[in-house]
Chain A
Amino acid sequence: MKCEKCNAKAVIEMPALCNKHFTSYFEGKAKKTIKEFGLLEKKDRVCVATSGGKDSLTLLYLLKKFGYDAEALAVDEGILGYRDQTLEFLKDFCEKNKIPLRIFSYEEETGKRLDSTVEPGKPACSTCGTLRRHLLNKHSKGYDKIATGHNLDDESQAVLMNLFKAQKKLFSRQGPKTKKMRGFTQKIKPFYFLKEKEIMVYAYLKGLNVSFAECPFARLSYRSQVREALNEYESRNPGTKENIVRKYLSIRPASHQDVRSCTGCGSPCSGDFCKACRIKAGFALES
């Protein structure tokens, strides 16, 4: 297949582009998202929520390339055989690229590792995600924005998941940028319109060489079922993922629910105690 712009050999289909033209397509799309949705200004202090996986590493790489003052934050959930490996890779990457990195663990925060609180074979993602968001928010207070590697796949899956489970309140976490709210560092997603696959191609071409590692709990997640179904559908109806998020943005609720402050930690939440504090209290009772 030839590049539709220059006839050189294509590295990706739809659009069919060569290495050089794909690079400018990819970077252009991220830049356009940043500009169109007002994600970042040059003066902003931004931290990237990194996992050591390809999405967040590529984001860190790109924000530095665009000239932003980006630092890295990571969360160590305590998942043996998985997170320890990706964190090693991340430390190495940050050291080589002279990017400041801070790592916070569930164990310091709650007294327990994730793999010691969830029985094998039980779903862990809901607890895990809640604690991750809690830690990232807590430790990103000194920054103007927190950037995440969420991409078109993640976001279109999330719209469907919320729809299937009718979880209206989760919609407020979606979109290229979360609303400004007291107590929350604003979250931005420069890869909102880029596919997981496009990020992988870019990372490969730039020699970022992120190796594949899978969380042992990932397969059990509801998300992985939605992902598989959506990928099936996308390959038969190209453009579906983008249509989903575009439609979502066009009907996104304009307002948010009332936000109160958690009695335990002061984080914004809808009840008396936030979910992270309720999880922590549960762990304390068990031990």
Chain B
Amino acid sequence: MEVFIEKTGERKQISFNGTAKKLLESIGVNYEEVIITRNSEIITLDEEVKESDSIRVLSVVSGG
């Protein structure tokens, strides 16, 4: 799956199946600081994400 992490500008190819919550834990990001979109739709932590999804982790912190 492709995961884009806005804050660092990283685009990662990772192999992952599970909930969005697990995904955030695996990349070490606090849910308070981001919103997660799957194929451009906002999803909540309990949603299952799968290999074919395009996930974006968008930062909610405004930069100054």
Contact = CB atoms under 8 A, between A and B. Distances in A.
Q: Do A and B originate from a single complex?
A: yes
Interface of A: 1, 10-13, 16, 51, 53-55, 82, 125, 149, 196-197, 199-201, 204-205, 211-215, 217-218, 221, 227, 231-232, 234-235
Given A196-B60, A196-B61, 16 more contacts: A1-B46, A10-B44, A11-B42, A53-B62, A54-B62, A82-B63, A196-B62, A197-B33, A197-B34, A197-B60, A200-B60, A201-B35, A212-B7, A214-B64, A215-B64, A218-B64
Contacts of B44: 1, 10-13, 16
Contacts of A125: 64
5 contacts: A11-B44, A149-B62, A201-B35, A227-B61, A235-B31
Contacts of B30: 231-232, 235
Given A12-B42, A201-B42, A218 B63 contact: yes
A125 B63 CA distance: 12
Given A11-B42, A235-B32, A200 B63 contact: no
A269 B59 CA distance: 37
Contacts of A12: 42, 44
Interface in B7-64: 7, 30-35, 37, 42, 44-47, 58-64
A16 B46 CA distance: 12
Contacts of B46: 1
A55 B58 CA distance: 15
Nearest to B60: A200
B3 to A, nearest CB: 15
A13 B64 contact: no
A283 B58 CA distance: 38
A274 B64 CA distance: 23
B18 to A, nearest CB: 16
A196 B61 CA distance: 7
Q: Which 6 A-B pairs have the closest CB atoms?
A: A215-B64, A214-B63, A200-B60, A53-B62, A231-B32, A218-B64
B63 to A, nearest CB: 3
Contacts of A10: 44
Contact of B63 (A11, A53, A201, A204): A53
Contacts of A55: 62
A149 B62 CA distance: 10
Contact of A212 (B6, B31, B37, B47): B6
Contacts of A221: 64
B33 A231 contact: yes
Contact of B35 (A1, A197, A217): A197
A81 to B, nearest CB: 11
A200 B58 contact: yes
A205 B42 contact: yes
Given A16-B44, A200-B58, A212-B59, A217 B64 contact: yes
Nearest to B44: A1
A200 B61 CA distance: 9
Contacts of B33: 197, 231
Given A53-B62, A197-B60, A204 B42 contact: yes
